[in-house]
Amino acid sequence: MTLRIGPYTLASNVLLAPMAGVTDRPFRMLCRRFGAGLAASEMLTADTRLWGSAKSRRRMDHSGEPSPRVVQIAGYDPQMMAEAARLNVDAGAEIIDINMGCPAKKVCNRLAGSALLQDEPLVARILAAVTAAVPVPVTLKMRTGWDPQHRNGPRVAHIAEDCGIQALAVHGRTRSDGYRGRAEHDTVAAIKARLKIPVFANGDIDDGPAARAVLAATGCDGVMLGRAAQGRPWIFDEVNFFLAAGRASAALAPEKVRDIMRAHLEDLYGFYGDATGVRVARKHLSWYLQRHPGNEALRSRLVAIETPQEQLSTLLEHFDPVARCVPLARVVA
Ligand SMILES: Cc1cc2nc3c(=O)[nH]c(=O)nc-3n(C[C@H](O)[C@H](O)[C@H](O)COP(=O)(O)O)c2cc1C
């Protein structure tokens, strides 16, 4: 199926969900290499006064990323959101995604993220301001509503389409659900049925069969995967294969997993620098290893290590105990 968002034809309808603290540039590029159709940045505050921080600067760094580059912005003020979108487009963003899906306190205290779903007129003002401000496609990520008694997702989706939003991703939970229970995709199906723009279903989709079932149940144009990609960036390849072939692909060989982990760690050290890179790498290592029971001791060792060289050589020794001498050209350079 050919799927377009504005001028962009997506190579796959399986997308990586934006996750603050996870979908940094190294992880986005890894998931794109494994076939994610799009990979939005971690959310960036629309408050430009905060853009001087190292965190915001890194979140705005898209060098080397394949097109189309998607930047997600979060905020509550239409003019600030419009200005943030404009500045990001000037800096190379090719699609602007608006966050109305995140339940995090820090965002919601300012009535941003999914808390905005409570105020439909404000939603309309934000979406209209942002779509008018930039010449690139604007997309929206939202939840099904404010709480189970107020599933206003279908109304908000209509507002979005009327305001010129060009694609929508819907997480099948309400804001008050947090991450509890299972995502329900009935509301997502109701939203899809009313819209002309592409709709992506999101929430608890963790393999090819789940993706196929949600696509069939909702009629959505694609799916968006978040937590299932943690420690398993190759899931996009697996799901793409399953959707095309109707059967599972062969499991990855341990050497392939080792090479993926190694390249990922080296990218993290390069992107964040050694000290922060090692810290960020710890959580990815935990995710990779927790998928393989029996690695608890290795996990505990790895998360206590302070240098890239030791972190990488400890990991590689696990895969190949004989190879003690690890060439660390990119790390040391
Ligand atoms: C650690 C973490 C960070 C997240 N950060 C964002 C974010 O920055 N923007 C956003 O729209 N959603 C964010 N989300 C929500 C995800 O994009 C996604 O909607 C949610 O995890 C459900 O999908 P999943 O079941 O495939 O993980 C985050 C989720 C997690 C677990």
CA distances from 31 to 18, 128, 154, 211 (A): 12, 31, 30, 17
Question: Nearest Cα to 59, choosing from 102, 18, 109, 15?
Answer: 18
Residue pLDDT, tens place only, 226-252: 999 999 999 999 999 999 999 999 999
Question: Nearest Cα to 59, choosing from 97, 106, 103, 110?
Answer: 97
> Does the structure show a pLDDT above 80 at 105?
no
Question: Nearest Cα to 76, choosing from 38, 36, 126, 127?
Answer: 126
3-state percent helix, strand, coil for the chain, nearest multiple of 5: 50, 15, 35
Q: Is 14 helix (H, G, I), strand (E, B) or coil?
A: strand
Write out the catalytic residue numbers.
102
Contact between residue 172 and residue 144 where contact means Cβ atoms under 8 Å apart: yes
pLDDT value of residue 333: 25
Residue pLDDT, tens place only, 55-94: 888 988 999 999 999 999 999 999 999 999 999 999 999 9
First-last CA distance in the chain: 44
| 14-16 vs 222-225, strand pairing mode | parallel
Instruction: Give the residue, out of 16, 19, 144, with the most ligand 1 atoms within 8 A of its beta carbon, to mutate for a pocket test.
Output: 19
Band (220; pLDDT cuts 50, 70, 90): very high
Give the 3-state secondary structure of 201-251.
Answer: EECCCCCHHHHHHHHHHHCCCEEEECHHHCCCCCHHHHHHHHHHHCCCCCC
Ligand 1 residue neighbourhood (C-beta within 6 Å): 17-22, 42-43, 72, 99, 101-102, 141, 171, 202-205, 225-228
The pTM of the full predicted model, rounded to 2 decimals, is 0.94
Residue pLDDT, tens place only, 298-319: 889 998 999 999 999 999 988 8
pLDDT value of residue 107: 57
CA dihedral over 234, 235, 240, 246, signed as positive or negative: positive
Q: Is-cis flag, bond preceding 137, omega within 30?
A: no
pLDDT value of residue 106: 57
